[in-house]
């Protein structure tokens, strides 16, 4: 799972108090630059690349099930792979206590490859996200992993088959802490290389450790040409903040239908949080329309004041309309694939 429920919240508070005052002020890691501790930032500074152990696993339609491993320095390995700059490249980034073998990661990869002829790169940073008692360290590690992704993107653009490539062919989908990682990747790509990511989709971005920080330390709409967010557990481990160009709040962004039937607090929280990648996979497969209505609040939406698409509606997920910005609301049902419930016009 992406976290440990109520116990996880307790550990977050304890580590913030006991460890936050004893952090180093700065660390530097080779080609990835330096990281400074900022006042008010509870996250710990990132561990070293060796400790985090980030690996990149390439899948294409030529190798759907067997990964080709890439890095950001070995040109021969890249040239021998099935990577092509002529295709769109989609990075998929997991969250806390996860790895690329988690239940949603490979189904998302398979759905994307079925949908389009693309390069899919699964980012495994599980060594840096695996300590259930040190969420703050995992949150801090997202800063380095984001930079590693951006350095790899520059390497792919420069040396990949059909080089040179273009940054507008790169798209990152991140879940929970992976969404915050995507934000760091986009901001560093822009700051260091003057390149802009095409798109970031944040799947219930992690809120703990990110809700009260400035844009520099969290995913926001300046990190790519288009940033869309799906909020499913906004009142607990996610965030209510509208941080993208388009923010989607299915069922108000919390308490997803069917999750109350889960046993225990951990099961209920995990269920809400995990709906974000589930909804996104369904959007890639085209299983649901995911028609979302622009509205200023969920309360107004529930009152039936936003049933018309006078400002234009957008699909949630893979087919989100880049021309539509703001907050969007929809209702879903309680059984897979959890399709949206059509609204009856007044």
In what side-by-side order are the strands of the sheet with 55-60?
Answer: 63-70, 55-60, 119-124, 89-93, 170-175, 199-203, 226-230, 246-250, 326-330, 291-294, 314-315
Tokens 């580590």 — which residue?
A: 15
- φ, ψ (nearest 5 deg) of residue 223: -85, -10
Rg (CA), the chain: 19
What's the rounded Cα separation, in Å, for the pair 46 and 23?
11
What is the total residue count of the chain? 346
What's the rounded Cα separation, in Å, for the pair 123 and 225?
21
3-state secondary structure 200-249: EEEECCCCCCCCCCCHHHCCCHHHCCEEEEECCCCCCCCCCCCCCCEEEE
Catalytic residues: 176, 204, 273
What's the rounded Cα separation, in Å, for the pair 232 and 171?
21
107, 64 Cβ separation under 8 angstroms: no
Instruction: Give the Cβ contact number of residue 59 at 10 Å.
Output: 24
Which helix (DSSP H) or strand (DSSP E) does residue 63 occupy? strand 63-70
């Amino acid at each position: 799972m992406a976290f440990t429920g109520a116990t996880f919240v307790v550990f977050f508070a304890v580590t913030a108090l006991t460890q936050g005052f004893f952090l180093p002020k700065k660390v530097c890691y080779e080609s990835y630059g330096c990281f400074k501790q900022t006042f008010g930032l509870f996250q710990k500074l990132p561990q070293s690349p060796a400790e985090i152990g980030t690996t990149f696993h390439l899948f294409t339609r030529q190798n759907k099930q067997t990964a080709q491993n890439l890095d950001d320095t070995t040109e021969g390995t890249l040239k021998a792979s099935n990577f092509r700059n002529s295709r769109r490249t989609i990075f998929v980034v997991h969250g806390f206590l996860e790895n690329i073998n988690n239940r949603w990661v490979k189904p998302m990869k398979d759905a994307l490859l079925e949908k389009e002829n693309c390069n899919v790169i699964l980012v495994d940073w599980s060594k840096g996200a695996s300590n259930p008692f040190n969420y703050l360290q995992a949150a801090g590690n997202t800063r380095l992993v984001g930079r590693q992704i951006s350095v790899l993107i520059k390497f792919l653009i420069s040396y990949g088959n059909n080089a040179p490539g273009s940054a507008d062919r790169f798209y990152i989908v991140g879940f929970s802490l992976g969404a915050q990682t995507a934000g760091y990747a986009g901001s560093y790509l822009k700051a260091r290389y003057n390149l802009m990511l095409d798109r970031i989709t944040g799947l219930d971005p992690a809120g703990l450790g990110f809700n009260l920080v400035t844009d520099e330390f969290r995913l926001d709409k300046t990190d790519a040409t288009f940033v869309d967010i799906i909020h499913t557990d906004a009142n607990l481990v996610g965030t209510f903040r509208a941080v993208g160009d388009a923010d989607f709040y299915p069922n108000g962004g919390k308490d997803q239908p069917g999750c109350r039937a889960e046993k225990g607090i951990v099961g209920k929280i995990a269920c809400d949080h995990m709906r974000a990648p589930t909804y996104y996979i369904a959007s890639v497969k085209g299983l649901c329309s995911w028609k979302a209505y622009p509205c200023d609040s969920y309360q107004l939406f529930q009152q039936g004041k936003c049933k018309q698409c006078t400002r234009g509606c957008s699909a949630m997920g893979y087919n989100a309309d880049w021309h539509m910005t703001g907050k969007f609301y929809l209702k879903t049902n309680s059984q897979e694939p959890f399709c949206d419930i059509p609204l009856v016009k007044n």
